[in-house]
Structure 1
Amino acid sequence: MGASKIIITGGKLIDVEAGDIIEDSVIIIEDSRVTAAGSSNDIELPTGADIIKVDASGRTTLPGLIDAHTHLQLVPAENEHETLIKSVPLKAIQAASNAQKTLEAGFTTIRDLGAEHLVDLAVRDAINDGFIIGPSVLASGYKIAPTGADFRIYPPEVKISGQYTMDSASEIRRATRELVALGVDQIKIMTSGRTFRKTSSPDTKVYSLKEVKTAVEIAHDNGLKISAHAHGAAGVKLALEAGCDTIEHGTILDKADIEFMLENNIYLVPTFSYSSNLKRLKGDSGIPDYSINKALSSRGKRLKSFQAAYQAGVKIAMGSDSGMPFVPHGTNAIEIIEMVKAGMSNLDAIRSATIIAAGALGIEDRTGSIRPGKDADLIIVDGDPIKNIEVLSEINNIEMIIKSGEPVIKRGEYTCG
């Protein structure tokens, strides 16, 4: 639009910090920041020739959505062989395309948790430099993982590049320091095995306490948060004791874990979407039965852990795990729907994908809510997600997306002037 000021009037505003709905709202954006937001009764509208007015009557304005767990370089429909034979430049171009799809779905910020060949850093920087369109990306580079926990083990004559593993505290120290030097925004470490690997169990812990603490110490010393892939009880307890900031998946949480998370401000990112889709597609998914059975078993336990954590007041951040099987990029909001189905209120699910997710990422001082002084990251939705959360999962309902004060996506008809 090219105007120095944007005024949005007439619509509902979801105040995710206060938990309030403002029926007849005004939002004023100047350059890249929000300068005023609230009831039309309390805000005086500025005048001038450089103002663009957006009439949001009949619509709802809320903060730009945040996905705390994505994998931009992954393509859900690909099998492992197809991924391995693809060139790194093609993977990077696909990741850029996936980033744009994610933005078009209303997500103005994402955290990418594990990419080979530093593809996530390249996409982040290309977006920041204006070469491509996408959300703000917090990149982690390659994950800290030991041999056997994640990547498939091939015969010695087969060499696969870009899949790094670390098998001692010294190797972890060097890898974490290297990631910091490369400019990552956070560190990701595996503390348990995976559900999709035949020889990897989600119930086992894959590092010692000393090894995980090594990565945590280096991350925190450099002002970075560290997330832990943790499914089973052993991996969860290891991540908590070592001081990780977010628990990704959190399949098995007991009362002591939940109390520890509350006391230490540790966030849960449950990632329901892929197992929900597997449940619907069992028998016709193309995924081996052993993977499906482990994933579905994991889902039942994860639902119970999620419900216990939610009822206790643990901070839960929305993370779709997009890029995993049956979680296409651009359908990230399905995770919000799944959390509601699991027992979360519509408002809390929206908070989970905005201000709570911003807190998990350590960026709540600049985004995650529509407040004066924060980045103008917001979406205008046709419908009311407080009454019907599923409006967020239909991309055509996301009629306007503003990122850092710039309207990057516009759908529908607006009265502007």
Structure 2
Amino acid sequence: MSLVSTTQHNGFTFDPSTAPENSKFKPPSWVKCDPVTLIDPRTTNGFGDPWDWRKPTFRGIDLTRTDPRVKVKHYEIVCPNPDNKIAVVDVNILDSTGRQPYRGDVLIKGKHIVSVGKKLSQEDLTGARIFEGKGRTLMSGMVDAHAHFTWTNASSLDALDVMETEEHTLFSARSARTFLDCGYTQCFGAASAKERIDVAIRDAINNGDIPGPRLLANGKEIAPRNGALVPGITAFADSPEETRKVIREHVEKTKVDNIKLSMSGEEITERLRAEDTTFDDESVAAAVEEAHSLGVRVCAHARSDESIMQCLQYGVDVIYHASFISDATMDALEVQKNRVYVAPAINWLYATLNDAAAFGFPRTKAETVGYKRELEVAIAGLKEMYRRGIKILPGGDYGFAWTPHGTYRDPELFVKLLGMSPMDVILAATALGGELMARPNELGKVQPGYFADLILVRGNPLEHIDILSNQENIDVIIMNGRVHKSAPEDGRI
């Protein structure tokens, strides 16, 4: 199936000047194809406090920079043989600095890269496991910024809750391995269907008990009782005080690295729409304050414009989806682009529209509830974000029947739907991942001193980005200096 939509006018198959009943969304300039202007007239936030989107602050915190109270934990994965050597010789090196691929050798000792580019000597190669380039590309492993190890390839949202804990944990371990099998060496947890599974999987990976990517773990997503997308996988919080209590339990008892707020609806529920906002301002502010005071970051399911603006006014760190964003909110997001990451999960929208029919959700139904409209509005908004230099990362709600684990294709969709350059997509999937994991000098690049989390790809992803969508094109995977995958003919001693 083609990844490009059918006949469109200015990118839309609907009249962008119209909206469904009860819609609050007014088509922004990039939807109407009008000139972009700075138009936000607001001077106060939801508390009535002064709000200047050009110089955003909240209670003394500068919202253009990461809150200094946030202290992301740097986990180490066990390295059983620190003297181990791996060499990749005469390979095309895509180093994620923005430089075009170049021929050279790479040497790994223990779990770190120690040499990049220069021809290795016989002394370097002695005792090393040697992989020959043979026209292939060596690049950093990728990031999924919106990862759900516990999403069970279910055929509905409610079905995420039915698996018993023991089987659910085993499934999640397989999901972790699947991410790694597909070349993803970094994952930012976006919610766990059960309280401790993300944390247990993270610790098992770090201890060397199971294979998987580096993981920053999450707990159950948090929502008001009348705003939960899936009650069975939600921790409820109906007030600022209850929100703080739940977050303290997540951090101090469950030991999560991230907090997830479910701040807007989802069209597939047909009761909480994408434009509906679930949290009041007081609870969002309390959530961010509590999480940051405990050193952890906040991510948010935020499709509605109001919820996106709440994220920006109160300091949410990672915004998921961001579909219905207005001119004013886009302006505010641009000002905070050095602090905020956007992981749109564009494949969820695309696949729900095009691939869910075999699982009981036909295209006509998907269009009726609003996914066709949301996909096209989201594409237009994301193109505008890309134009403004906002950080857009791959990762996207994989783990439903029509988006099963192992079908990760965000880099391909970013090029074909959003018009991003292949190089910018590779940088988003690698170097920006290192930033998101708060280890920009250790993860996401092929550079001396970085962790040896590398993939050897058949071909050049800058010419054919879709090769990254199929794990069969990834011949060798090295994680933390250990060979996770290789072909039988690769890796002579």
Does the TM-score normalized on the shorter chain lie above 0.5? yes
Question: Which amino acid counterpart does residue 107 of structure 1 have in structure 2?
Answer: Y
CA RMSD in angstroms comes to: 2.2
Deviation at 1:130, TM superposition (A): 2.2
Equivalent position of 1:259 in the other structure: 331
8 Å contact from structure 1 (residues 246, 268) kept in 2: yes
Secondary structure of 2:178's partner? helix
What CA distance in whole angstroms lies between the structure 1 residues aligned with 2:91 and 2:220? 42
Gaps of 5+ in 2: 1-79
Q: Say if 2:78 is the partner of 1:78.
A: no
Does structure 2 conserve the Cα–Cα contact (< 8 Å) formed by 1:35 and 1:372? yes
Task: Tell me the distance in 2 between the aligned counterparts of 1:338 and 1:148.
Answer: 33
Q: For 1:17-416, list aligned pairs within 5 A.
A: 17=97, 19-40=98-119, 46-47=123-124, 49-79=126-156, 82-117=159-194, 118-152=196-230, 163-181=234-252, 182-264=254-336, 265=338, 266-281=340-355, 283-287=357-361, 293-332=369-408, 334-342=409-417, 343-411=419-487, 413-414=489-490, 416=492
| 3-state secondary structure, aligned to 1:202 | coil
How has the CA–CA distance of structure 1 residues 85 and 316 changed in structure 2, closer, same or farther, with 3 Å as cutoff? closer
The equivalent residue for 1:13 is 93
Q: Percent identity?
A: 27
**Partner amino acid for 1:189?**
L
CA separation of 1:384/1:358 partners in 2, compared to 1, >3 Å: closer, same or farther?
same
1:268 Cα deviation after fit: 1.2
CA shift in 2, pair 1:412/1:321, >3 Å: farther
Structure 1 gaps, min length 5: 154-159
CA contact (8 A) 1:56 1:414 kept: no
- In the superposition, the TM-score normalised over structure 1's length comes to 0.91
Does the 8 A contact of 2:229 with 2:272 survive in 1? no
TM-score (norm 2): 0.78
Correspondence for 2:53: none
How far apart in 1 are the matches of 2:433 and 2:87? 26
Contact 1:399 1:412 in 2 (8 A): no
1:148–1:200 contact (8 Å) kept in structure 2: no
CA distance in 2, matches of 1:290, 1:200: 16
Structure 1 residues 80 and 235: alpha-carbon distance in aligned structure 2, compared to 1, 3 A threshold: closer
**Residue identity opposite 1:301 in structure 2:** V
Q: Alpha carbons of 1:26 and 1:167: their partners in 2 closer, same or farther (altered >3 Å)?
A: same
Assess, with a 3 A threshold, how the Cα gap between structure 1 residues 133 and 283 changes in structure 2: closer, same or farther.
Answer: closer
Q: 1:47 to 1:39 in 2, by over 3 A?
A: closer
Helix, strand or coil at the partner of 1:223:
coil
- Number of residue-to-residue matches in the alignment: 406
Paired with 1:125 and 1:337, the residues of 2 have a C-alpha distance of 31
The answer on whether the counterparts of 2:129 and 2:491 sit within 8 Å (CA) in structure 1 is no
- Asked whether the 8 Å contact 1:278–1:285 carries over to 2, the reply is no
Larger radius of gyration: 2
Aligned equivalents of 2:229, 2:326: Cα separation in 1: 29
Please state how far the C-alpha of 1:278 moved relative to its aligned partner: 2.5
SS where residue 196 of structure 1 aligns? Answer: helix
Aligned in 2, Cα 1:36/1:82: closer, same or farther, shift over 3 Å?
A: same
Residues 45/385 of structure 1: CA separation in 2 closer, same or farther (3 Å cut): farther
- Equivalent AA in structure 1 for residue 247 of structure 2: T
